[in-house]
Amino acid sequence: MKPLKVALLGCGTVGSAVLRLLEEQSDDLAARVGRRIEVAGIAVRRPDHHPGVPAALLTTDAEALVRRDDVDLVVEVIGGIEPARTLLMAAIESGKSVVSANKALLAEDGVALHAAAAKAGVDLYYEAAVAGAIPLLRPLRESLAGDQIRRVVGIVNGTTNYILSRMVETGAGFGEALAEATDLGYAEADPTADVDGFDAAAKAAILASLAFHTPVTAADVYREGISAVTATDVARAAEIGCTVKLLAICERVSDEEGDSVAVRVHPAMIPTSHPLAAVGGAFNAVFVEAEAAGELMFYGQGAGGEPTASAVLGDLVAVARNRLVGAAGQGPSGYADLPIRPMAETPTQYHVSLDVADKPGVLAAVAQEFAHHDVSISTVRQNGHGDAATLVIVTHSAPDAALSATVAALREMSAVREVTSVLRVEGLS
């Protein structure tokens, strides 16, 4: 029987792991698929940088490779928008099913790519694009397709979770921890995508699209990264029994104005008793809250060559099986077109720490500023006296715009020497 031929686009951290596992597990994969899977060619930028790879397989002409008649399936692990988009479109239009790990592209152009795949009758699978090895997209798209998902919240970026874990656990500096994450193969080619939250925002957009059956792009996601998280934030979090995590939060909001979707990525203090607080290193974890199913938690390795390659190969087996029966799997059902709720209107909770003058009336004046913005205070604590006096305030939930306006006003108060820490809080009752 003729083998199924795969074009591999990119041979970096993930691509080289995919290639290795394809070789090591070729007999098992053949048994599971019902046909051998062989690599037809590997598109790379610099053939001389891949000494262990058979030279005959290497090419710098990725587009010619995807269009070759003997290629049945395409695996894209180049990353970025272009040339990945052009290559995926070329593959789809020439009738080839595609497996990709490219969240940046799927979060920007997923609708067009899915439309092209549906038109061509081929598969577009990308389990590796969100939360690495963790089976998450297929459960959302298939297993939970009969339920109503209300909320998806999790840690979806391994690099920033690794950095925050190292800062909290060992006091490592930001730069040192980022260098380690890069060496371990967790970071994006440009690690600012991780640090500034772009990678998590792309993943959040993909999760929200699948969970709520509505198109959401990365541009719809409110985004803050971890570069502004300070040692003071980490210390203040510990004082109230919390730790700091970069969270992706996708919510379907139903109110008198109808249904909408709120999607945000930002650092937050979460209680150390919260299951997400225990997620360390490059691990990811995602909670899904569905009406009938209740709470589900998905946990595992969110980054790294081999874990990501596991998800790529799982997709490859699925699309290969579909190809052999002459069918394409069901794509996402994006039938709803829900508006995006602006971050300003999204209810959040803040932790604010202030250095203040320790004199009569200061606490009242600070409390007055919160009241003026219609923000209710949950707890207030004073640490120290005199020049060392610090006020630590945790609010109740309020529209994010009211909370940020309160902080801006506090910064202008003469009694407030410095606003030393401001972070949102999640999961604190």
Contact region for ligand LTNE7NMQ (CB under 6 A) — 141-149, 155-163, 238-246, 253-261?
Answer: 155-163
- How many residues belong to the site for ligand LTNE7NMQ (CB under 6 A)? 11
How crowded is the C-beta side of 390, counted as CA atoms within 13 Å?
A: 13
- Of the candidate residues 6, 14, 22, 313, the single one contacting ligand NAI (CB under 6 A): 14
Of the candidates 37, 75, 39, which has an alpha carbon nearest to the alpha carbon of residue 57? 39
CB of 171 to ligand LTNE7NMQ, least distance (A): 21
Applying the rule CB under 6 A, the residues between 132 and 151 that interact with ligand LTNE7NMQ are 132
Nearer CB in complex with Na ion: 19/131: 131
* Helix pair 84-93, 103-120: axis angle to 10 deg: 20
Please tell me whether residue 134 binds Na ion under the rule CB under 5 A.
yes
Q: Is 127 in the site for Na ion (CB under 5 A)?
A: yes
| Token pair belonging to 325 | 């029966």
Q: Which partner, Na ion, ligand NAI, ligand LTNE7NMQ, none, binds residue 83 by CB below 5 to 8 Å per kind?
A: ligand NAI
104 to 133, contacts with ligand LTNE7NMQ by CB under 6 A?
132
Site membership for ligand LTNE7NMQ, residue 76 (CB under 6 A):
no
202 binds Na ion (CB under 5 A): no
Interatomic CA distance for residues 385 and 309, integer angstroms? 55
Binding ligand LTNE7NMQ (rule: CB under 6 A), the pick from 76, 188, 196, 220 is 188
Q: Which two tokens stand for residue 209?
A: 């699209």
Give me the 299-328 binding string for ligand NAI, x by CB under 6 A, dash otherwise.
----xx---x--------------------
- Per partner kind, with CB cut-offs from 5 to 8 A, the member of ligand NAI, ligand LTNE7NMQ, Na ion, none near residue 201 is none
| Interface stretch with Na ion, choices 79-87, 215-223, 274-282, 308-316 (CB under 5 A) | 308-316
203 is catalytic: yes
The yes or no reply on residue 212 touching ligand LTNE7NMQ (CB under 6 A) is no
Is 186 near ligand NAI (CB under 6 A)?
yes
Structure tokens at 39: 């690599």
Task: Cite the active site residues.
Answer: 203
